[in-house]
Structures are given as structure tokens and as C-alpha cells.
């Protein structure tokens, strides 16, 4: 099961802060996951297409324009712009 996390306002669009999603045994890409999520929550689909959303895979930030490989054991976090301090 892939652990998908939604931070900030994305958790409103997803209706949850965390989803466990079974992914196929072979490697997929982030775009596959996004398609799956859109089917679950159309509102989330629009939110995830926002170019300011960052993605971390297993707590490592993915480059801004990228479609990284993901596996069933991964933790994938969708993050809106951060504000610390």
C-alpha cells in the first residue's frame, strides 16, 4: 500500500490527511497516482494540478517539473507552499 499524505489546504480537497492506496506491483509514475486520485476526488484533481504544489517521495522532495517513479511501498506527500517561522 502506498501512503499518500495531504498537507495544508490539500487535506480539505482530499477530505482526509492520509490515504492508503494499493498500487500495481510494477513501478508506476506520479501521474498514474494523480489520475487515480482524481477519480476518487474530482476536487483534488484540480487542486493537485496547481503548479505551486510540491511532492515528496519517501520524504525527499521531487524536482518541480517531474513525474517520478513510485512504488507500492512508498510514502507520497502532496504539499502546498510552505510557511514556517
Question: Does 68 sit near other proteins (CB under 8 A)?
Answer: no
Find out whether 19 and 1 touch, Cβ atoms under 8 Å.
no
Question: Does 71 sit near other proteins (CB under 8 A)?
Answer: no
Question: Does 18 sit near other proteins (CB under 8 A)?
Answer: no
Kindly report the backbone phi and psi dihedral angles of residue 75, in degrees, each rounded to the nearest multiple of 5, phi listed first.
-110, 120
Please, which residues have CB within 8 angstroms of residue 15's CB and are 6 or more apart in sequence? 41
Taking CB under 8 A as the criterion, the residue among 20, 25, 51, 59 binding other proteins is: 59
Positions touching other proteins (CB under 8 A) are 5, 7-9, 12, 56, 59, 61, 77, 79-85
Amino acid at each position: 500500500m502506498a501512503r499518500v499524505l495531504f498537507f495544508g489546504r490539500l487535506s480539505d480537497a482530499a477530505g482526509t490527511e492520509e490515504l492508503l492506496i494499493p498500487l500495481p506491483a510494477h513501478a508506476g509514475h506520479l501521474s498514474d497516482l494523480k489520475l487515480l486520485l482524481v477519480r476518487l476526488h474530482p476536487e483534488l484533481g484540480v487542486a493537485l494540478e496547481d503548479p505551486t504544489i510540491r511532492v515528496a517521495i519517501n520524504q525527499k522532495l521531487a524536482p518541480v517539473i517531474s513525474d517520478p517513479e513510485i512504488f507500492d511501498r512508498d510514502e507520497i506527500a502532496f504539499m502546498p507552499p510552505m510557511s514556517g517561522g
